[in-house]
Amino acid sequence: MNLGTRKLLDRSFTALGIGSIVIMGIMLLVVLVPIVSNGIGAIVFKGTIEHRKLLYTEFQRGDKASLGRELAESDASRKKVYEIMAAFESELKGMDEEKQADYQAKYNEVRTALKALLGPLPGEEMPELTRFRYGQTRWDKAKEKLHELLYEKKWDYSNPDAEAKEYFVSRAQGFEGSSLVKLFPYVEEHIDQLMLPEWTFYWGFITDSSLDSHIFGGIWPEIQGTLFLAIGAMLFAFPLGVVAAVYFTEYAREGFITSLLRSANSTLAGVPSIVFGLFGLAFFINTLKVSESKSVIAGSLTLAIMILPTIIRSAEEAILSVPKTYREASLSLGSTKWNTIATVILPAALPGILTGGVISLGRAAGETAPIIFTAAVSVGSAIGLADVFSSPTPALSWNIYNLASEHEAANEIRHVQYGMVLSLVTIVLLLNLSAIILRARISKKLKG
């Protein structure tokens, strides 16, 4: 091969490597950007009057006087809507039967759509479920519901080869000639007065409990559950891991037992996370009976086992990276071996050990599979510290799965799901970021 081609091959080889690194960076952005941008939408959004009403009735927050003013304003414009409907209903009674049945079916759809937008109609009994007691609390959702009120979705099956296409028909056409036809342009023009949207910073998303399985409210029980589980796991795993690391680095002599213990450690690191869940169920709950059924303590123990190898490995590395001179200086001053470890080596290795601990904490917070069978429930309120031994808890990771895949209104509460993912990712990445910073400071210090 001539030199030109060899150089070309060399360049493309480099390009391949840089390309894959760039793709990894892009992937990170592609995953994080929608999560962050949509997740913020769970906290900062245009809230409607229904949102403020909900906050006041369910959480006793907000100013009563200004809420009353706003309610009066929106009620005044809503009154017209209900008047049109009442007029149409009386008109409907006077029609002949066939026409009446036809109108009634369409009118029921309009009523349902209007109820979804504005909440229960006046004179109606208060519904049992919280989700039906209020209209749309978010302006973006309200606009969707407005579209549903104005247009009927239909499917076009005319082309048998392709998939059916959706198209929209104006509902107003169906009521041509009746008094209800006024309703649609009125709602469309006055939607601002009906809903009174305004920018809201809903910090309650972090601190509130959820209402009616996450249709409204916040995610505090999940955040608290995640913190309980992760911190509980650390309480078990961190001391154990550090002591084991001290043994491996300071006391263990190379031999059969040590290499066996080391390979046990790497085996544990390679066990699939779902198997930890099975083990936690079979051992902690069914055999040891640490609790009747799922509980925070069982979940924490399972997570502790999962993160133990990481903690041991990072603590070992941290201890080994302490310069030999420290140890020799301490021993030459006449201190005992244990004394040297406790007062010289461990303090010097502490930042490194903490780095590993922080990363493991993040892993324990983000992991789902081990807690499915041992600790997580989908709906629940925040539990007290005393309940960790007996009761299960909702957790962010599990509820992201649950809301996205199993919730009956998964498409309606995308903002809650994004908010949860953002909270979880923020917790985990902040922990990792602090580990990275910690490590950078250590390496600076070691360099002198």
**Going residue by residue from 166 to 185, which x/- string records binding to another protein, judged by CB under 8 A?**
--------------------
Residue 329 in contact with another protein, rule: CB under 8 A: no
Report, in Å, the least distance between residue 32 CB and another protein. Answer: 8
**Can you read off the two tokens belonging to residue 212?**
């009616």
Touching another protein, residues 112-151 (CB under 8 A): none
**Can you read off the two tokens belonging to residue 106?**
């369409």
Touching another protein, residues 340-369 (CB under 8 A): 359, 362-363, 365-369
Report, in Å, the least distance between residue 78 CB and another protein. Answer: 34
Report, in Å, the least distance between residue 292 CB and another protein. Answer: 13
Report, in Å, the least distance between residue 28 CB and another protein. Answer: 5
Angstrom distance (rounded) from CA 205 to CA 198: 17
**Can you read off the two tokens belonging to residue 37?**
């941008």
- Specify whether the CB–CB gap between 47 and 141 falls below 8 A: no
Comparison of 206 and 331: residue with beta carbon closer to another protein: 331
Q: Which of 94, 334, 384, 448 lies at the binding interface for another protein (CB under 8 A)? A: 334
Touching another protein, residues 246-285 (CB under 8 A): 246-248, 251-252, 260-261, 263-279, 281-283
Which residue bears the tokens 């599990």? 398
Number of Cβ within a 10 Å radius of residue 436:
14
Stretch binding another protein (CB under 8 A), from 4-12, 82-90, 93-101, 141-149: 4-12
DSSP 138: B
Touching another protein, residues 387-446 (CB under 8 A): 397-398, 400-401, 404-405, 414, 417, 421, 424-425, 428-429, 432, 436
Angstrom distance (rounded) from CA 420 to CA 423: 5
Q: Which of 42, 298, 312, 383 lies at the binding interface for another protein (CB under 8 A)? A: 312
Query: C-alpha angle 83/87/93, rounded to 5°?
Result: 145
Q: Which of 170, 336, 343, 381 lies at the binding interface for another protein (CB under 8 A)? A: 336
Stretch binding another protein (CB under 8 A), from 2-10, 55-63, 152-160, 206-214: 2-10
Phi and psi at 176, nearest 5°, equal -50, 130
Report, in Å, the least distance between residue 48 CB and another protein. Answer: 24
Stretch binding another protein (CB under 8 A), from 42-50, 138-146, 241-249, 385-393: 241-249
Comparison of 47 and 280: residue with beta carbon closer to another protein: 280
Touching another protein, residues 7-66 (CB under 8 A): 7-10, 12-21, 23-25, 27-28, 31-32, 34-35
Alpha-carbon torsion, ordered 231, 233, 235, 238, to 10 deg: -110
Range 201-223 burial, b when 16+ CB lie within 10 A, else e: ebebbeebbbbbbbbbbbbbbbb
Report, in Å, the least distance between residue 89 CB and another protein. Answer: 41
Stretch binding another protein (CB under 8 A), from 112-120, 140-148, 194-202, 244-252: 244-252
Number of residues binding to another protein, judged by CB under 8 A: 93
Comparison of 6 and 99: residue with beta carbon closer to another protein: 6
